[in-house]
Structure formats: structure tokens, C-alpha cells
Structure 1
Amino acid sequence: MAIETSKLTIRLPVEDVKFVKRYAKANGLSVTEVIDRYLRRMRLLDSEARPTALDEITGLLPPDMDVDAEMHERRLTKHSR
């Protein structure tokens, strides 16, 4: 079953475009594959419904939050029921 695709034009800083092209070439990927893999990872992290590196990157968590400590506390709470 083929995945439906759509074309998207985006504007990025020149340095980011250079980086993604270098990265893709060095890893034997197309730029589309690099972005697709990144977006799939973002969706996975988003679906886990917990503080993640994605939340830090996107600014959804306060910059001073200790994510590791928060996760440790949540695990303790979850497993102590």
C-alpha cells in the first residue's frame, strides 16, 4: 500500500539547507528522507504524552525544567500505585 504524498515548499536559513544537504549526502539519504525520518520521530515522541526532548526543542517546557528529574518522579508515581 503506497503512502499518499504531497509537495511542500518551505523557507529555511541558508545554513540549515546546506547542513541538511550535507547530512543527507553523508548518510546516503535524500533531503526528503531526512525530513521524513525526523517528522516520524517527532510524531512518536508527541504520542508518548510525556516531557521529551521534542518539548524542549519546541519550547513547550520551561527552559529551567529538569526533564530527567521530572521523568524520574513520574516513573516513581506511576509504579508506586
Structure 2
Amino acid sequence: MTKLERAVEVTGIRKVAISGGVAANRGLREALMKKKDWMVFIPPAIRCTDNAVMIAAAAFNRYQKGDISDLLLAPNPSWTLV
């Protein structure tokens, strides 16, 4: 929530949407719904699925750039998609 709250604060944008597997997180859903000054869009939990396609797209972009690593590479949640 910290990064999202900071993004809302910096940009002034009050419309927030979450999707994918993270949107199925009940705690996150409840925390977002408490944000009375935000317009929050969350799909029904049954529609919140794994983000494997997004991960594959990010990997493909890195592959095309020649950024190839062995299996010892540690994950980094801050990597960009492009």
C-alpha cells in the first residue's frame, strides 16, 4: 500500500484499479475500500487470476534486449515491465 499511497499523493490521481492475483488479497481489498477519497475499481475475486502472462511479457522484453540470466537470479519486485 505504501507505494500506491505515495503515487496517489504525488500525482493527485484518486482513481485506483487493481487486478490480477494481488486483487484477490482480502486484506488489500479491505484497505483500499477504506480509502473514502479514492475511487477504487476491483474486479470480483473470482476474476482475479495469476499474473503469469505479465511476468512472461516482462521476461520476453528482457530477453529481446539480451538481458539473459542463469537460474540463480534473485527475483526483484521493483523491476519494470519495459
Q: TM-score under structure 2 normalisation?
A: 0.27
> Higher helix fraction: Structure 1 or Structure 2?
1
> Higher strand fraction: Structure 1 or Structure 2?
2
Which structure is richer in relative contact order (CA contacts within 8 A, separation 6 or more)?
A: 2
Q: TM-score under structure 1 normalisation?
A: 0.27
Greater Rg over alpha carbons, structure: 1
